[in-house]
A and B are shown apart, each in its own frame.
Chain A
C-alpha cells in the first residue's frame, strides 16, 4: 500500500529534526471560522420564520386583522435605505482600520452606530403608530415576531459596535489583530441582508 502523504519526505525529516511541527493555530482565523458557522446556523432561524410567514400568508383566510388596511411602506423604505447604507459605511470603517487610520475608523464606526440607532428609532416610531398588536391574529404575531427578532439583532449589533469603539480607544489595542471588529462588521452585513429579505416579504409583498 502506498502512503500518499500530503507532507513531502524532506519536510517530514526537517520537521522531526527541528521540532517546528508544532503549528501554532491561528486563534483569529479559528474564531472567524467559528463565527461564520454560527451565523449560518443563525440564518436558519430567520429562514424558519420566513417559511412560516410564507405559509401563513398563502393559507390564512383572513390574513389582515379587521380594521387594518395594510402596512405603510414609505417610512420603512427610508429606514431600509439607511440600514443598507450603513453596511457600506462599516466596510469603509474596516478599511480605515486596516490602514491604521484610527480616527477615520472611529468616525465611520460612530456613523454606523448612529445609523443603526436611527433604524431602531424608526422601528419604534412605526410600532407606536400601528393599530394592531401581537395578538391580532397570525398577521400581527408574525409581523411583530419578525421585526422584533430582527430589531433585537440590530440592537445586539449596535451594542457590539459600542464595545468595539470603546476598545479602540485603548492605544495599540488593534495593532495585532481585530477579530472583534471583523466579526461585528460581518454580523452587521448579515443583519442587513436579513432585513432586505424581511422588507421584501412583509412590506412589498402585501
Chain B
C-alpha cells in the first residue's frame, strides 16, 4: 500500500470494511457502505410505495369508491408518487452511483466522504418525517405529488403542522441531500479520476451520472425556492400563490416543473448508463458509438432545462410558448434516439447471453421505446390538450418509471450483485422475477393508454362503469407486478446469506470495478490503476490498465 489520498480525519471514523450487518447502521464514510445503505433504505420505501399502489389499484378494480374513503385515496396517490420519486428512484440511483462511480474511475473514495455520509443519513430522516404525517389529525398531504396551489393551500384542520407542511419540509430536506450528493459527484468525477482515465475513457455510466448530477445542481434550487414560498403561504399566510390575495398560482407550476421535469432525466440518465454498461458485456461487443452515447447524456442534460412548460400546455400558456416548448420537447427524442439506436447496434450480431441482467435490460429497452413513442405523442400540443391529466399520461410515465427505470435498476442489482456481495444470485428466481414483472408491467400500464384516450381522468377514486374492463385488467396486472417483487426479495436475501461464492469477474466484463476483489476491499485498489485504453474493449486485445499483475486477468477475456 502506497500513500493513500483519503484524509485520515482526527476523529475516529468507522472507515472499516462491512464485517457484519451492523456496519450498515453506523455513520460510515466508506462509499461502498453508503451505497448499500442507500439501496436498502430506498428499497424498503419502494415496498411501502408499492403497497400504496396496490391500494390504489384495489380501489380502481370497481367503478365505485368502496375500498378506502376519498381522503385516504387522495393521500395514497400523493404518497405513492412522492415516495416512489423522492425515496425510491433518487436515492437508489444515488446509491448505485455511490458504489460504482469511485470504482469505475479508479478512485479510493468519493471526494468528500463525510458529506456523503451526511447526505445519506438525511434520507431516512425525511422518510420518517413524511411517514409521520400519517399520524396527524388531518392525515398526510392530499394534493398529489405536484402539490399545486391553491389545492395544497387548503388546510381543513387549521393546524400549522399538517400533512402538507410536513410534505414540504421533507421535500426541502430531500433537496439539501441531493444538492450535497450533486456537489460530491461532480467534484469526484472531475477531480478524482485515475491517471490515464480521460473523460473519453470513462464508462458511459459515469457520463450519465455526471449529467444527471449537473441537472440536480441547476434544477433543484428552483424547486426549493418554490417550496419555500409555498411553505410561507401555508404557514404565515403570505400571498405568493394564493389567487384570492393577488398571488399567481401558475408561477408555482413554473418553479415546480423547472426542476421536476429535469428530475425525470435525473432518474432516467443513470439507467441509460446502466444499459450502456450491460449490453456490451452480454453481447461481447464494444458499445456502438461510445463517444456519441457519452456526449448525448450531456445533451439530454442541456435540453432538459428548456422543456418544462410542456406540463402546462393546459394551464393557460400562451400559444407561441406552446409551440416553442413543443419543439424543444420533441428535440429530447434526438439524444435519446441516439442512445436507443446505439444499444440496438451494440446487440446487433453480438454473442448474446440471456442472463437475468440482460433480460431486464432488454425488457427495459423495449419499454423505453414504447414510453418514448407516447412521449412524442404527449409533447404535441393538440394531443396533450385532449389527454391532459388522463390515464394516458399515467401510462406514459409509468412505462418510463417502472418499465425503464425500475427494470433498469433490477438489471443493475443482478449485474453488480456478485461484485457487491461476493456471492452469486440464483438465476432461476431471477428469470421468474423478470417474466412476472415484464408481463405485469405491460398488463398494468398498457390498458391505461386506451383509458386515457377515452377520457378517464387520473387521481379519481370512482369512475364511469364504461371504463371498468380496462381497469380490471390493469388491476390484475398491478397485483401481478406486486407479487413479482417477492422472488426478488427472496433471491437477494437468500443469495446474500448462502449463495455460492462468486469470482472477481463472473461476467468476464471489462472495467475497473471488475479488477478488484468481490466485495471490494476498503480502499478499493491495492494500487491505483493506470488506464491505457478505451472502455468496452470486447474483442480487442489491448489491456485496460498498465498495471502488470492485473493484465493476465484481462488477457483471457477475449
B111 at the interface (CB under 8 A from A): yes
- The answer to whether residues A134 and B238 also contact, given A27-B7, A34-B187 and a CB cut-off of 8 A, is yes
Partner of B546, one of A16, A61, A141: A16
When the two chains form their complex, are residues B179 and A41 in contact, meaning their CB atoms are under 8 A apart? Answer: yes
Which residues does chain B contribute within 8 Å of A48, judged by CB atoms? 221-222, 225-226, 255, 258
When the two chains form their complex, are residues B542 and A134 in contact, meaning their CB atoms are under 8 A apart? Answer: no
A44 at the interface (CB under 8 A from B): yes
When the two chains form their complex, are residues B220 and A41 in contact, meaning their CB atoms are under 8 A apart? Answer: yes
Partner of B528, one of A21, A138, A149: A21
On chain A, the number of residues with a Cβ less than 8 Å from chain B's Cβ atoms is 46
In the bound complex, CA of A45 to CA of B258 (Å): 12
Mark A residues whose CB is within 8 Å of B: 1, 3, 5-7, 12, 15-16, 19, 21-25, 27, 29-31, 33-34, 37-38, 40-45, 48-49, 52, 55-56, 59-62, 134-135, 137-138, 140-142, 145, 149
Q: Chain A's nearest CB lies how many Å from the CB of B77?
A: 27
Which residues does chain A contribute within 8 Å of B10, judged by CB atoms? none
When the two chains form their complex, are residues A134 and B246 in contact, meaning their CB atoms are under 8 A apart? Answer: no
In the bound complex, CA of A33 to CA of B546 (Å): 29
When the two chains form their complex, are residues B195 and A23 in contact, meaning their CB atoms are under 8 A apart? Answer: yes
In the complex, the chain A residue whose C-beta lies closest to that of B201 is: A6
Q: Chain A's nearest CB lies how many Å from the CB of B185?
A: 10
Which residues does chain A contribute within 8 Å of B527, judged by CB atoms? 19, 21-22
Partner of B196, one of A1, A5, A134, A140: A5
Interface residues of B in 538-558 (CB under 8 A from A): 540, 542, 546-548
Partner of A3, one of B232, B248, B533: B533
Mark B residues whose CB is within 8 Å of A: 2-5, 7, 111-112, 179, 182-184, 186-187, 190-192, 195-196, 198, 217-222, 224-226, 228-229, 232, 236-240, 245-248, 251, 255, 258, 527-528, 530, 532-534, 540, 542, 546-548
In the complex, the chain A residue whose C-beta lies closest to that of B242 is: A138
In the bound complex, CA of A6 to CA of B226 (Å): 45
Further 19 A-B residue pairs, CB within 8 A, beyond A30-B111, A40-B217, A138-B240 = A12-B530, A12-B546, A22-B5, A23-B5, A24-B5, A25-B111, A25-B191, A30-B187, A34-B183, A40-B218, A48-B226, A48-B255, A52-B255, A59-B248, A135-B237, A137-B246, A140-B238, A145-B238, A149-B228
Which residues does chain A contribute within 8 Å of B258, judged by CB atoms? 48
Q: Chain A's nearest CB lies how many Å from the CB of B411?
A: 29
Q: Chain A's nearest CB lies how many Å from the CB of B73?
A: 33
In the complex, the chain A residue whose C-beta lies closest to that of B7 is: A27
Which residues does chain A contribute within 8 Å of B546, judged by CB atoms? 12, 15-16
When the two chains form their complex, are residues B251 and A38 in contact, meaning their CB atoms are under 8 A apart? Answer: no
Partner of A52, one of B195, B196, B229, B548: B229
In the bound complex, CA of A55 to CA of B229 (Å): 14
Q: Chain B's nearest CB lies how many Å from the CB of A98?
A: 23
Question: In this complex, which of A25, A33, A49, A55 has the most chain B Cβ atoms within 10 angstroms of its Cβ?
Answer: A25
Q: Chain B's nearest CB lies how many Å from the CB of A36?
A: 9
- The answer to whether residues A37 and B248 also contact, given A22-B528, A24-B5, A145-B232 and a CB cut-off of 8 A, is no
In the bound complex, CA of A55 to CA of B248 (Å): 9
When the two chains form their complex, are residues B187 and A16 in contact, meaning their CB atoms are under 8 A apart? Answer: no
In the bound complex, CA of A119 to CA of B179 (Å): 29
When the two chains form their complex, are residues A7 and B195 in contact, meaning their CB atoms are under 8 A apart? Answer: yes
When the two chains form their complex, are residues B532 and A25 in contact, meaning their CB atoms are under 8 A apart? Answer: no
Partner of B191, one of A30, A43, A59, A142: A30
In the bound complex, CA of A145 to CA of B5 (Å): 43
Which residues does chain B contribute within 8 Å of A37, judged by CB atoms? 182-183, 186-187, 217
When the two chains form their complex, are residues A135 and B246 in contact, meaning their CB atoms are under 8 A apart? Answer: no
When the two chains form their complex, are residues B225 and A49 in contact, meaning their CB atoms are under 8 A apart? Answer: yes
